[in-house]
Structure 1
Amino acid sequence: MADKQISLPAKLINGGIAGLIGVTCVFPIDLAKTRLQNQQNGSRLYSSMSDCLIKTIRSDGYFGMYRGAAVNLTLVTPEKAIKLAANDFFRHMLSKDGQKLTLLKEMLAGCGAGTCQVIVTTPMEMLKIQLQDAGRIAAQKKLMSEVINSSSTGMTASEAQGPQSAIQISRQLLKEKGIAGLYKGLGATLLRDVPFSIVYFPLFANLNKLGQKDPDTKAPFYVSFLAGCAAGSTAAVAVNPCDVIKTRLQSLQRGAQEDTYAGISDCIRKIYRNEGPTAFLKGAYCRALVIAPLFGIAQVVYFFGIGEFLLGLLPQKHD
């Protein structure tokens, strides 16, 4: 029988390559998403994604759109690798004798993948958000310098010094709060990533099947790409309220007169009361634009089997 065993190292390589390519392509949109989600009604600097990117280029140059990309590119390889490989692993474990998985089992596999990935996702997002949002905070300080200088806004010493690097932020958090400092927002990250994976993986698998001529052949790469885009954008918009909550909770710096939050329920209550229910959809179209190509690219790389090729993996090793 054709041995349909999965090779974990190959899947990890595929996920890593996919993550690097995808993040490089969509990082500026992700930066705009973070800044749009973090701005509150009293301190709106950007009216849209394009307005945010134009202002970022004007103030910081082209590479200002890639602020925080280094930490993302460093950690996205293990993050994407864990997510894709864990889903594959759980699907393999849940399928009995190669039988077709039920929708419930597909959702369970997605749930397992989402839970595993937060080990890397939480610190990665935590550091990335500080770096991405530093430009918004700096721009707000310029516009409201008199207010900020004449009132107590709860700025820390690190905020007054200006933007920090990911290493500086990591050291400071580890020194002040230990490893828990890097895992601030873990609950909100789980709240976003587990439902995302529960929606994404079964939806992708079923859309991708539409392009398969028979169960034993792969769908064409363009079908995998389109299925990844469609499933990714659908799941991204579905969990956007959780992403807004996560972004707010993980932001260490605040602009003048912006709310601080004690936890998930406090964050939900304050956003709803001060900004209305539509605030939970902030950055939704940016997130869809980020996730669609990210997962489309990921699935194409994954299905081309670059990892298997690099490792010289067999189908035909019969000794």
Structure 2
Amino acid sequence: MSQNQISLPAKLINGGIAGIVGVTCVFPIDLAKTRLQNQRQGQQVYKSMLDCLVKTVRSEGYFGMYRGAAVNLTLVTPEKAIKLAANDFFRHKLARDGKGLTVVREMLAGCGAGMCQVIVTTPMEMLKIQLQDAGRLAAQQQKPVMMSSSKIMAANPVLSRSFNSGAAVSAPRPVSATQIAKELLNTQGIQGLYRGLGATLMRDVPFSVVYFPLFANLNKLGKPSPDESSPFYWAFLSGCAAGSTAAVAVNPCDVVKTRLQSLNKGASEESYNGVVDCVSKILRKEGPSAFLKGAGCRALVIAPLFGIAQVMYFVGVGEYILDNSPLRVLSA
């Protein structure tokens, strides 16, 4: 196979393996990011990422840090596969006669990849956030401030069936991603799973526009010659550097997306009617610094996630699997 030729099945395998390995490694930090981003002033349950992880282990056990991981592990394969394969596809189409891409064309390829991935990213994030944030809401409800269950259900109509009846607040019964998905489909249809689509596009398109060109140029610096690939450790470091930079750059969009996709609200947490309303209320009530909530956690999540992804992607695990598959051997 020519090196210039794209093997889409191989790219899908590479992206899938990279996504599963990466998510398994960094999911607890992603959980901390979601909980920190959803905190409002005066209602802080966690002081920092470390405090969040310690309190999560104490109150929910070790596996509490992996709430929502099943959703990610199930959908991260198509999500990462689409993102990486789409970028590779667009770069291939935008290349002129095998010549290198300009930065503008690299950004266009990244933009195309970001737009493609939201097909899977939006419902994945939607379900994951509900499961990740459940522990924060339960901890918040344990504070002295009491609230009737009817008010909680009014604030959270989609997931109201998961609460016990009674005058006093009790933590929501554990629900699965499947239950949440069914409830959303029954009450809101398919658009329920795509709540926050606009905010997801606002986050993922700029992320890809920044990440892919930055990675390509950083990785190019480690190549011994134009015809050789960079060492795997350089691909890893380039993925980490580009990923963390892009993650921090789009963190304000990620905060907005997280708030819009959170169906459950605390006792006095407001709801939002779209991106503009969300941005306006956050600025007015919490100030500009609120848009940087969870930025450190997000950088720590994305850096190794994309570092691992690029190592898998450029080492060519998918190509190796396909070249040595039984069907390939038999047909040779």
Q: Is 1:74 paired with 2:74?
A: yes
Paired with 2:16 and 2:91, the residues of 1 have a C-alpha distance of 20
Instruction: Give, in angstroms, the shift of residue 142 of structure 1.
Output: 1.3
Instruction: Give, in angstroms, the shift of residue 313 of structure 1.
Output: 7.3
Give the secondary structure class of the aligned counterpart of 1:147: coil
Paired with 2:64 and 2:14, the residues of 1 have a C-alpha distance of 29
* Counterpart AA for 1:69: A
Paired with 2:215 and 2:112, the residues of 1 have a C-alpha distance of 16
**Residues 150/31 of structure 1: CA separation in 2 closer, same or farther (3 Å cut):** closer
Give the secondary structure class of the aligned counterpart of 1:311: helix
Structure 2: which 5+ residue stretches go unaligned? 165-171, 326-331
Q: Report if aligned partners of 2:156, 2:263 keep a CA contact under 8 Å in 1.
A: no
Paired with 2:78 and 2:143, the residues of 1 have a C-alpha distance of 39
Alignment partner of 2:251 out of 240, 243, 254 = 240
| Match of residue 209 from structure 1 | 220
Instruction: Give, in angstroms, the shift of residue 131 of structure 1.
Output: 0.2
Aligned-residue RMSD, C-alpha: 1.6
Give the secondary structure class of the aligned counterpart of 2:148: helix
Deviations for 1:226-274, whole angstroms, at most 9, x for unmatched residues?
Answer: 0000000000000000000000000000011011101100000000000
Q: Report if aligned partners of 2:11, 2:84 keep a CA contact under 8 Å in 1.
A: yes
| Match of residue 83 from structure 1 | 83
Instruction: Give, in angstroms, the shift of residue 166 of structure 1.
Output: 0.2
Give the secondary structure class of the aligned counterpart of 2:264: coil
Give the secondary structure class of the aligned counterpart of 2:42: helix
Paired with 1:245 and 1:155, the residues of 2 have a C-alpha distance of 18
Paired with 2:318 and 2:3, the residues of 1 have a C-alpha distance of 17
- The count of residues paired between Structure 1 and Structure 2 equals 314
Structure 1: which 5+ residue stretches go unaligned? none
Instruction: Give, in angstroms, the shift of residue 147 of structure 1.
Output: 2.4
| Match of residue 230 from structure 1 | 241
- TM-score, length-normalised on structure 2? 0.92
Counterparts of residues 20-59 of structure 1 (less than 5 Å): 20-59=20-59
Paired with 2:149 and 2:309, the residues of 1 have a C-alpha distance of 49
Paired with 1:6 and 1:204, the residues of 2 have a C-alpha distance of 19
Q: Report if aligned partners of 1:204, 1:227 keep a CA contact under 8 Å in 2.
A: yes
| Match of residue 177 from structure 1 | 188
Identity %: 72
Q: Report if aligned partners of 2:203, 2:253 keep a CA contact under 8 Å in 1.
A: yes
Deviations for 1:265-305, whole angstroms, at most 9, x for unmatched residues?
Answer: 00000000000000000000000000000000000011110
Instruction: Give, in angstroms, the shift of residue 170 of structure 1.
Output: 0.2
Instruction: Give, in angstroms, the shift of residue 125 of structure 1.
Output: 0.2
Q: Is 1:276 paired with 2:287?
A: yes
